[in-house]
Structure 1
């Protein structure tokens, strides 16, 4: 599977997809972004069970600002509507592969339980 392009209108629907979502925030003028693009594209072809997406921060400034993207490239990983990873900087092929393996191994039941516990705790006053 190749990468898909996301914008402010399609981003929320992509997060709600059942497959984990890896998003590359980039810009055409960014050298590190251009160097990372083939690494990202190759990974997308090797992992049919993930959705790989790109957001052009020049065209989608409102979305990038809303997600607090301060430098590019930035990778974000969502699974079951939860942000699991967010980091600026290009990854090597080995680093990206390691990240993908970690994302696949996350126990999402545990993550959702932890989020629920935090939300319940935050809602109580002393």
Structure 2
């Protein structure tokens, strides 16, 4: 049973389920829900574009001002990705961009996940600054979540996930791998 913790989670869940329902059964009510989901997607992208100048200003501020939630999420790039994957048994990487609405909607979910799961490394990769990593991992759309176990990719998801969906995404694969061992 899904329970949303915030309006953001409810919107992400609505977008994901609307698409799934329309794929299963193409009818007018599902088309209407899918249209609303796309409308909310475009609205979130517009809001992300509005937020972009403020994010650039934040980057200019000293890093010591970052919140505890932001510090729980690693900033991964071409220079440190190898070390992050070697040093941690489980790693969740979020490929994102500042102009991407769904990426901005997912940001709090990743921060909360990182705080609640200190044994799993959670990192963000800025797609605009790390094009080489997008090519290396064949990332075609944003946001894209990749899950690594012992340095090897074991699962990926394209699109935003709510806190609950991100937790389920990771725990399902961890359970599957631990049962296989």
Q: TM-score, normalised by structure 2?
A: 0.57
Query: What is the total number of aligned residue pairs between the two structures?
Result: 111
Partner of 2:119: 49
Deviations 1:19-59 (A, max 9, x none): 30000000000000000000111111100110000000001
Whole-Å Cα distance in 2 between the matches of residues 16 and 106 of structure 1?
Answer: 21
**Are residue 82 (structure 1) and residue 152 (structure 2) matched?**
yes
Unaligned 5+ segments in structure 1 are 112-126
Distance 1:47 1:25, change over 3 A: same
RMSD: 1.8
Partner of 2:88: 18
Whole-Å Cα distance in 2 between the matches of residues 49 and 106 of structure 1?
Answer: 18
In terms of fraction of residues, the more helix-rich structure is 2
Deviations 1:62-81 (A, max 9, x none): 11122111100000010112
The structure whose RCO (Cα within 8 Å, separation 6+) is larger is 1
Residue 98 of structure 1 aligns to a residue whose secondary structure is helix
User: Runs of 4 or more off by more than 4 Å in structure 1?
Assistant: 108-111
Contact 2:76/2:124, CA 8 A, preserved across alignment? yes
Give runs of aligned pairs for residues 1-126 of structure 1, distance below 5 A.
2-107=72-177, 110=180
Rg larger for? 2
Distance 1:5 1:98, change over 3 A: same
